[in-house]
Chain A
Amino acid sequence: MLRNQSHRRPKGPSRVDQPAGIDIVGLTKRYLTPKGEAFTAIKDVTLAVEPGQFCSIVGPTGCGKSTTLAQVSGLEKPSAGSVTVGGTPVNGITDGVSYMFQADALFPWKTVLHNVMMGPILLGTPKREAAQLATDWIRRVGLAGFEDRYPHQLSGGMRKRVAMAAALINDPRILLMDEPFGALDAQTKIIMQNELLKLWEELRPSVLFITHDLDEAVALSDRVVIMTSSPGAVKDVFDVDLPRPRGNVQEIRHEQRFLELQERIWQSLKDEVTRAYARSAGAAA
């Protein structure tokens, strides 16, 4: 581990990254299909996430939500347009980003402790320190005592907690979440949403959160972006002015203001979903 340290950027308390805003301007991404045709996944996406803001992207399947995230993380390069994170244009892997996927991208061959330790280890933190930090985070997500388990020995919700600890342990400036709770059952989902809100309110990274679930988006976010499909583009942006801290997401769903916002956003989303559904049904026929 230590021999990898030389080329790692040192990152410790000296790091001055306050949560960074994300500015996406005119972002376009085209792919070449296997048939050799150009396919535009997203077109002219422009949106801004304020530093420390929780921003959700909602839209029908295949509208390029995940593509947008990949450009922000720097895993892919945009075909046109630009992404700026904290005032620096993205070129290569963006610093201080963590990713959370729908499939819990955990290492099946590592224990809970070693899974959570990966973040600091990759930054060149000495093993002992990383283990301490990881133990602390495992406790914070409520898994104390499970350090030596392997992922297959845990339930779906517990694996999500491990993934969450692994994503947050590096104190990211930006948290990218790609339908993180999509595969969970309804009860577990609510528990995880509360857990996420609690941890986010402590750390306040900027969040880009992809979901299909409008309730989830409204309950968690400061800003909800509606995307249209093929090619993906921004249709509407709504600011959610529910007060923070939000408290229990289960209870907030019954508040008057929540219902109003939810109704307004749904009106915008409904047309898109119907259109996308009609198109996919047409393609299948």
Chain B
Amino acid sequence: MTAVIGGQGAAAAVQPADLQVAGRRRNRRRRTAIWIGRVALAVIVIGGWQWFTAEGWVDKFFFGQPSQIWNSLVTLFSRGTAFGSIWENLWVTAKEAFGGFLLGTLAGVVLGILLGSNRYLSAVVGPYIRIVNSIPRIILGSIFIVAFGLGTFPKVLLAAVLVFFIVFFNAFQGVREVDQNLIANVRVLGASPVQVARHVTIPSAMTWIIASLHTAFGFAIVGALVAEVLGAQKGIGLIISQAQGTFDPDTVFACMVIIAVVTLGAEFLISLLEHRLLKWRPPSRSEAPAI
């Protein structure tokens, strides 16, 4: 029994030390090669873009230029925008996206788990959910702006709607995939429906829900930005639509960069949460490099 657990140590002991050193060296070389490739790819794409626009093969009036985008970024942060400092605008957009993300996730998880565990409800509502899912929900932004004005609320709402469906479907599916043996097991042990949900259904669906959060946050940002483009008094989306009006692709690209950084940050936080909540999962096999 212990041999299974101690297997790794035993294997290492059998191997001569220099084999291990050679394996490590090869592993390090492989990682260096990967990083060289990554940097080269970035240099080729960004450098090529700069070069092509500088030579005039591609018109920088329409497609921007990396150096100009950098200048726009500097301007945005040093001189601010027509609607206040960039931080102020970024804060507004981030607030809307996070608000929508939280609202949509909460609603998605609750409804997904409720409908997933109730056969009758899911049968009744199922077709309607599918219909609503097939309409282009981003258009709802227009309606929200008209109905709720130019403030924060319609942006939060649009982001929440986009997030909701992603999280909802995953939670719903997650509940459906629960191991029926586990449920039978705890029911025989005398679990009430609430206990079945608490100990089996929700933890089991959590894998699916967490996986959906990565995509969901991207959609929260999209929702907030699009709603801002449609009509706002502040926010990155407003800066973008303003830049579009003044034929300034560099500022649009600069805003894209800013938003990308924010999204990567949020993505990182979600990954942390994922590691914490799903630490019981077996590590994936590919993480151990063969030597």
Contact = CB atoms under 8 A, between A and B. Distances in A.
B190 interface: yes
Nearest to B204: A109
B181 interface: yes
Interface string B91-114: 000000000000000000000000
Contacts, number: 73
Interface string B191-222: 11011000110011010000000000000000
Interface in B264-288: 278, 280-282
B182 interface: yes
A95 B187 CA distance: 11
A176 B200 CA distance: 21
Interface string A134-151: 000000001000000010
Contacts of A109: 203-204, 206, 278, 280
B4 interface: yes
Q: Which of A94, A97, A101 has the most CB of B within 10 A?
A: A101
A105 B4 contact: no
Interface in A102-125: 103, 105, 107-111, 118-119, 122-123
A107 B192 contact: no
Given A4-B192, A118-B189, A105 B182 contact: yes
Contacts of B203: 107, 109
B59 interface: no
Q: Which of B187, B278, B280 has the most CB of A within 10 A?
A: B280
Nearest to A111: B280
A254 B4 CA distance: 31
A81 interface: no
How many of chain A's residues touch chain B, expressed as a range?
A: 20 to 34
B194 A119 contact: no
Interface string B171-188: 000000001011011111
Interface stretch (A152-160, A222-230, A258-266): A152-160
Given A108-B280, A122-B195, A75 B184 contact: yes
Main secondary structure of the interface of A (DSSP, over half): loop
Contacts of A111: 280
Given A105-B182, A107-B203, A109-B203, A152 B282 contact: yes
A110 B279 CA distance: 10
A99 B188 contact: yes
A73 interface: yes
Contact of B187 (A4, A75, A142): A75
Given A97-B188, A105-B181, A107-B203, A157 B1 contact: yes
A203 interface: no
Contact of B181 (A94, A101, A176): A101
A152 B281 contact: yes
Contacts of A110: 280
B194 A4 contact: yes
A170 B190 CA distance: 11
Contacts of A128: none
A89 B29 CA distance: 71
Main secondary structure of the interface of B (DSSP, over half): helix
Contacts of B278: 109
A37 to B, nearest CB: 22
Contact of B195 (A4, A94, A103, A108): A4
A105 B199 CA distance: 13
Interface in A56-108: 73-75, 93-95, 97-99, 101, 103, 105, 107-108
A80 B194 CA distance: 31
A35 interface: no
A75 B200 contact: no
Given A4-B194, A152-B282, A158-B1, A107 B188 contact: no
A96 to B, nearest CB: 9
A187 B185 CA distance: 27
B120 to A, nearest CB: 17
Contacts of B188: 73-75, 93-94, 97-99, 176
A51 B181 CA distance: 26
A150 B280 contact: yes
Q: Which of B181, B184, B189, B200 has the most CB of A within 10 A?
A: B189
B186 A118 contact: yes
Contacts of B192: 4, 7
Contacts of A158: 1, 4
A9 interface: yes
A8 interface: yes
B5 to A, nearest CB: 8
A9 B185 contact: no
Contacts of B190: 8-9, 93, 95, 122-123
A108 B281 CA distance: 8
Interface of B: 1, 4-5, 179, 181-182, 184-192, 194-195, 199-200, 203-204, 206, 278, 280-282
6 contacts: A93-B188, A99-B188, A105-B181, A105-B185, A107-B200, A118-B199
Given A4-B194, A99-B188, 16 more contacts: A4-B192, A74-B188, A93-B187, A98-B188, A98-B189, A99-B184, A101-B181, A105-B181, A122-B186, A122-B189, A123-B189, A142-B1, A150-B280, A152-B281, A158-B1, A158-B4
Q: List the 3 shortest-distance A-B pairs measured between CB atoms, nearest first.
A: A105-B181, A152-B282, A109-B280
